[in-house]
Amino acid sequence: MKIVEYSPYIWRIPKEGEMLVDGIVFASKEMIEDIKNDHSLQQVANVATLPGIQKAAFGMPDIHWGYGFPIGGVAAMELKTGVISPGGVGYDINCGVRLLKTQFSLSEIENKLEELVTLLFKNIPTGIGKKKSDIKISTKSLNKLLKEGMKWTLDEGFAREEDLEYIEDNGTIEGADPNTVSQRAKERGVFQLGSLGSGNHFLEIQVVNEIYRKKEAQTLGIDKGQIVIMIHCGSRGLGHQVCSDYVKIMVKAMNKYGIKVPDKQLCCSPINSVEGQSYLKAMAAAANFAFVNRQVITYKVRKVFASVLGFHHKKIPIHTVYDVCHNIAKIETFKIDNKTKKLLVHRKGATRAFPPQNPFVPSKYRSIGQPVLIPGDMGRYSFILVGTQKAYQYTFGSTCHGAGRVLSRRKAKQQAKGRDLLKEMKDKGVIVKAAGMATVAEEMPIAYKDAEEVVNIVENVGISMKVAKLKPVAVIKG
């Protein structure tokens, strides 16, 4: 497999062998050398072999070795001839990020920060296994939730009406069918609603550290020194089970449809097949569960802040800025060779980045484009960006999703040996509460690329623009 520099920050894997299109990867010269050390470029080339793929298989600058698709991968499929691959969405369906803004400054809450973090950690379950959510719902209610997504949270009193406006697809992916979700998936999901999970998932209290674009920041209601809250999590065990169930279904279905893939985890079915349609309905249901999960966490955040700062939780000035999916497949409309086409866009560790004036961008933000939320590592910073016309035309309206790992979890743990990471973070001004030290070690800042380098590349390529930099002051992790 060859990789050639096409233009600054753009690398091309020319079509060869079974590839139907080129691979395109966005990276700096330094970054591409690191990327070459894992298997992610081969995974881009593998994705390029999938039936119906259009234009190119894309790798964002946060690309790293995943399973099947690389993490940081984007692939759009033609609806009639193309396929849907659960591996192109990932196990944690609609793993995503929500950003909440407050009217508080750091100095206003600094002396209550420890109490806030302690209560958030107590009220929002983290980790896995026996730790269960305190939100109890019936199977009937779960089915309603899976179908309706955020509409369910309004009926149940977990959301404010304004929340729905500022969520990708208003927090409801159409076409969800709870009947396509297995009983086991429901069993796993029913006690995990409102929980953070583990791995790279987190809840951070952050302070707006830098504004790059004033007009855009003002439109989003973001100002320097303001406290914001970032929630990063997904569809928990329910989404994992949906992916596991359909990977097995599609491994079998590939024989039926005569599809061959270079890696079993790329298993797929034609979009219009029974298996493909069934997966899309189940995936939509799991994505709705993830939106609701982040909303229930939002509800808990509002309650904790209200109790500590002396507000009623319905009146605490904490508002949703936006909520984005990082792992999803969606039917969207783009122009290919001057023809308008509906395509199924897989984003696996990538973010939708729609431009100004796009009807899918909330009306309040339509003049600036869709907000893109990029979490970094827990010691440095995260970013708010906005989508661009170039992203819409070039990358199927997609951009990066995070920093991307540079150290494997094993290597990170080896390097953490003998270090007091909690103290190191505290010395940097970040309070960390975690369910286990293993996660803290795996997620320590040096395990990740510098998120600033990643967002600078997508800005240089023109597929999104920086609006603000956010620095963590407190983190809870699974």
Partner 1 sequence: MYTNRGFIETDHGADIRIKIWAPTFEQLLEEAIKALGNLIACKDKDLQKISKTLFLKSSTKEELIVTTLEELLFLFEKEGFIPLEGKVMDLSNKYKVKIKVKGRYLEEEEPTKNIIKGVTFHGLKITTNGNKIFTYIVFDV
Q: What are phi and psi of 232, to 5 degrees?
A: -125, 105
244 binds partner 1 (CB under 8 A): yes
Distance of alpha carbon 170 from alpha carbon 361, whole angstroms: 10
Q: What are phi and psi of 422, to 5 degrees?
A: -65, -40
Instruction: Out of 297, 439, 457, 459, name the contact with partner 1 by CB under 8 A.
Output: 439
Token digits of residue 19: 């590839």
Q: What are phi and psi of 347, to 5 degrees?
A: -125, 110
385 vs 435 by CB, closer to partner 1: 435
- Which residues does the annotation mark as catalytic? 401
197 vs 387 by CB, closer to partner 1: 197
**Dihedral angle of Cα 88, 93, 95, 98, to the nearest 10 degrees:** 120
359 binds partner 1 (CB under 8 A): no
Within residues 89-108, the interface with partner 1 by CB under 8 A covers 91-92
Is-contact 100 300, C-beta < 8 A? no
Alpha carbon 66 to chain centroid distance? 14
Stretch that binds partner 1, among 4-12, 145-153, 184-192, 387-395 (CB under 8 A): 184-192
Cα Rg, the chain, nearest whole Å: 21
127 binds partner 1 (CB under 8 A): yes
248 binds partner 1 (CB under 8 A): yes
361 binds partner 1 (CB under 8 A): no
72 vs 397 by CB, closer to partner 1: 72
Stretch that binds partner 1, among 6-14, 53-61, 126-134, 146-154 (CB under 8 A): 126-134
42 binds partner 1 (CB under 8 A): no
437 binds partner 1 (CB under 8 A): yes
118 binds partner 1 (CB under 8 A): no
375 binds partner 1 (CB under 8 A): no
188 binds partner 1 (CB under 8 A): yes
165 binds partner 1 (CB under 8 A): no
Give the C-alpha distances (Å, rounded to integers) separating 330 from 74, 245, 345, 449. 11, 20, 5, 28
Instruction: Out of 243, 386, 458, 467, name the contact with partner 1 by CB under 8 A.
Output: 243
Residue 469, SS3? strand
Contacts of 18 (CB under 8 A, 6+ apart): 49, 262
Give the C-alpha distances (Å, rounded to integers) separating 361 from 101, 112, 168, 343. 18, 36, 8, 19
**73, amino acid identity:** G
Q: Which residues bind partner 1 (CB under 8 A)?
A: 38, 40, 64-68, 71, 87, 91-92, 127-130, 184, 187-188, 197-200, 237, 240, 243-244, 247-248, 251-252, 263-265, 267, 405, 408-411, 435-439, 478
